[in-house]
A and B are shown apart, each in its own frame.
Chain A
């Protein structure tokens, strides 16, 4: 399976994005990072660590579970419900610049759900979006502000983001949907 990014590349990409965030927001005052569960959370934490190195400031970081906001939640009459995990946003988002962090941007539906969820927590000044990979095929008018890598894909392909915190090592690979033809 083709490797889109190895561990080193992931690290460099995150450092670049961190710099872009600082530059665009002219510092990190009023900034907060919120990772979308599952893999957006460790990415947000890494960005926070890099931002601290760059600016010396601890940027508040939270975790958002969007399960309860999914638009496909009750669509199937059968089958298990997706597991709901805790949302942890231990700070007010009112008036802040929120940087939403996810691993892959695809149809845009996850980010739509995340935006709805965030709005229920308050009224941020702005919401910006960080993704490690943008693989295209958007179904909603959503665009990332910071992109690690643009990867043209087909719908039969899968982009797997593996992170040390969750999967033991950093790596982004491109695979095929099981059952799809070669």
Chain B
């Protein structure tokens, strides 16, 4: 492969794992052009005119779904969003049946969020349409990692050689997995910090440096990324109390001061203020949390644009 990619190899974006550094760079570069579109008086281009994009959300998600919808509309795609409560899935039709029904409407792209890891792979095997993973269980959330990388690159000018600290519930986090793959592929040094009860097995073999000492993770970091502690998942006793979690792992101004003076503070949202992050940090000058939201639209426009053109794989299929 040459140094610069001009396309993505697959019809789908199911995860960051499997993308080359060149493909990631292509998405980020395209997102830069897309970001400018959002700054125009008329924030719309005709690139995906006549294309149909279906947003299929099996998990409630205001943030990601809205971001995709805005991205699709700015590219002039015809879009519709279907929210399916997980409770109705139990008695309702199977994912494959839903996929076949959607397929009959001949969409070009299906964006899916689902509580089961690998659900997008199942969909991709069933559908001709390109599948964009908007978060599958504990597996991956590729567009979140791309927008995080875009935000870091925008502020730091590069990814290679940066120290990025990620703290929180690493075990259940798809954001962690996608970021770990992306940042290490791009040559950043990723420190992963959290309680040992919330670390995935074999974490060091994912290419990150695990630690339970938040100070060690944050020290000298260029970017500090918090992950949401999913309160509803913590009933299983992964740690004794939220109070103690904040005491040991919470991002306080004192801890942030261990990072580089120009370090940025990131959070994929929604935040639990006072649990994983203190408000003073979340709202402080180093926080780029709202930039992440704005960049999410640009990155998703880039992904949709690059996938909508089809791929070489289709000729082989």
Contacts and interface: CB of A to CB of B under 8 A. Distances in A.
A88 B312 contact: no
A40 B245 CA distance: 58
A117 B30 CA distance: 17
B176 to A, nearest CB: 30
A79 B6 CA distance: 10
14 contacts: A68-B47, A74-B51, A74-B309, A76-B310, A78-B310, A80-B6, A80-B312, A81-B306, A83-B26, A83-B29, A84-B30, A84-B34, A120-B44, A120-B45
Range for the number of chain B residues in contact with chain A? 20 to 34
Contacts of A69: 45-47
Interface of A: 65, 67-69, 73-74, 76-81, 83-88, 116-117, 120-122
A150 to B, nearest CB: 31
Nearest to A77: B310
Q: List 9 tightest A-B contacts by C-beta distance, closest first.
A: A80-B7, A81-B309, A68-B45, A68-B47, A120-B42, A84-B33, A86-B33, A78-B310, A77-B310
A136 to B, nearest CB: 27
Q: Is the interface of B mostly helix, strand, loop or mixed?
A: loop
Contacts, number: 71
B41 A116 contact: no
B36 interface: yes
Contacts of A78: 310-312, 314-315
B38 to A, nearest CB: 12
Contacts of A120: 40-42, 44-45
A123 to B, nearest CB: 10
A80 to B, nearest CB: 3
A81 B33 contact: no
A117 to B, nearest CB: 8
A94 B315 CA distance: 46
Contact of A79 (B26, B44, B312): B312
B191 interface: no
Contact of A81 (B29, B42, B46, B308): B308
Interface in B269-317: 302, 305-306, 308-312, 314-315
B37 interface: yes
A44 B177 CA distance: 46
Contacts of B59: none
A122 B41 CA distance: 7
